[in-house]
Structure 1
């Protein structure tokens, strides 16, 4: 007989062990060494990531200890990196439920992982910076996230990273170009938090947007006029062919009449 534990006692004990190990360690290296000794079943790596993020959010102020520990696990195994990506998506989707202190700690934690390249930057594609898609909590999260990134990397290096052509698609939702309203909102947001230098390309795009719209409209009108001229040419050729056919048929009829007259004369 196989007994299945439905009370999740083992999971509770695992979380308790992870929590005590994190809180009792002197530095992140000792904590990482102890946590790696814990035998985790396949799929339980997510529990370690959740507990690390939960302990970080419970602190009164952000401790760099948690960021370094999360960075170490992301570097050790790609499984932890993928799990922290899932944690980022989950935390941002439920960011309105967090208090301001927890929200700040979580934002600084993920900013540390992004700034050290422990977490891939394509996770930012989940953030859509528009007036309709953000709340007050999510705006505070984005503000702290980018301010911490600018402190880690510097405004120049951060701007180069955001303008990198290899990951440009991941930032289209943060720097939208689909609508002038959304573009202005993004520019005003980053300017208000002191990072207006990140929106230079966006400002240039907004400045040239009327000219681009006129070019697109001109191209559409030119293509429509080409289609109309092509249809008129085809109709003209059709009428010309029909006229030539009618002329040919009339000439054939006149030839046949002359032949008949000649035959009658010969008989007479």
Structure 2
């Protein structure tokens, strides 16, 4: 765990995000499942305390995790820890989500990102980001992704809302 925390801390201290840290994290995840599980814990911990980070550190941390997700070094079920509603997010967590999905879109392309988000077995992990429990939360999620230029990933959500 210390190794994962140190790598993430070093990454956050840089002036701009260095892909080198993402590649190191990816390699550690691929070498040993223990590292992958520790980075999962780091993701949950960082997201829960994201409001404490200054903007530059926040950007570096989220780009690090976007790299791990985009390369499948980190399992996508970690996204279940993100709850995208007006009440559950702060400006910092919205920035985190915005950068995370923009980076994933840039890394994978919007089409592949949509495919990943549409995997039936993963819907439980994504329902807190694309909520259908309350029309207000659904609308908030659609408007959020549309405002950051990723409205295309909410097509399934829009269709479910129409039904």
When the two structures are superposed, what TM-score results if normalisation uses the length of structure 2? 0.96
After TM superposition, give the deviation of residue 62 of structure 1 in Å.
0.1
Q: Answer 1 or 2: higher relative contact order, Cα 8 Å, separation at least 6.
A: 2
After TM superposition, give the deviation of residue 267 of structure 1 in Å.
92
Cα 1:47/1:182, change in 2 over 3 Å: same
After TM superposition, give the deviation of residue 202 of structure 1 in Å.
1.1
Name segments (4+ residues, structure 1) moved above 3 Å. Answer: 264-268
Cα 1:187/1:265, change in 2 over 3 Å: closer
Q: Which has the larger radius of gyration?
A: 1
In structure 2, C-alpha distance between the alignment counterparts of 1:187 and 1:267, rounded to whole Å:
13
TM-superposition CA deviations, 1:105-136 (whole Å, max 9, x none): 00000000000000000000000000000000
| Contact 2:145 2:151 (8 Å CA) reproduced | yes
After TM superposition, give the deviation of residue 78 of structure 1 in Å.
0.2
After TM superposition, give the deviation of residue 168 of structure 1 in Å.
1.2
In structure 1, C-alpha distance between the alignment counterparts of 2:140 and 2:108, rounded to whole Å:
25
When the two structures are superposed, what TM-score results if normalisation uses the length of structure 1? 0.59
Aligned length: 163
In structure 2, C-alpha distance between the alignment counterparts of 1:90 and 1:177, rounded to whole Å:
26
Q: Which runs of 5+ in 2 are unaligned?
A: none
Aligned to 2:161: 266
**1:148 aligned onto 2:148:** no
Alignment RMSD: 15.1
| Contact 2:145 2:153 (8 Å CA) reproduced | yes
Cα 1:180/1:47, change in 2 over 3 Å: same
After TM superposition, give the deviation of residue 75 of structure 1 in Å.
0.2
Cα 1:54/1:164, change in 2 over 3 Å: same
In structure 1, C-alpha distance between the alignment counterparts of 2:144 and 2:67, rounded to whole Å:
22
Matches within 5 A, 1:84-99: 84-99=39-54
Cα 1:54/1:266, change in 2 over 3 Å: closer
Aligned to 1:235: none
Cα 1:58/1:266, change in 2 over 3 Å: closer
In structure 1, C-alpha distance between the alignment counterparts of 2:28 and 2:53, rounded to whole Å:
25
After TM superposition, give the deviation of residue 201 of structure 1 in Å.
1.2
**SS of aligned partner of 1:128:** coil
In structure 1, C-alpha distance between the alignment counterparts of 2:126 and 2:156, rounded to whole Å:
13
After TM superposition, give the deviation of residue 266 of structure 1 in Å.
91
TM-superposition CA deviations, 1:230-257 (whole Å, max 9, x none): xxxxxxxxxxxxxxxxxxxxxxxxxxxx
Cα 1:48/1:185, change in 2 over 3 Å: same
Cα 1:199/1:56, change in 2 over 3 Å: same
In structure 1, C-alpha distance between the alignment counterparts of 2:129 and 2:71, rounded to whole Å:
21
Q: Which runs of 5+ in 1 are unaligned?
A: 1-45, 204-263
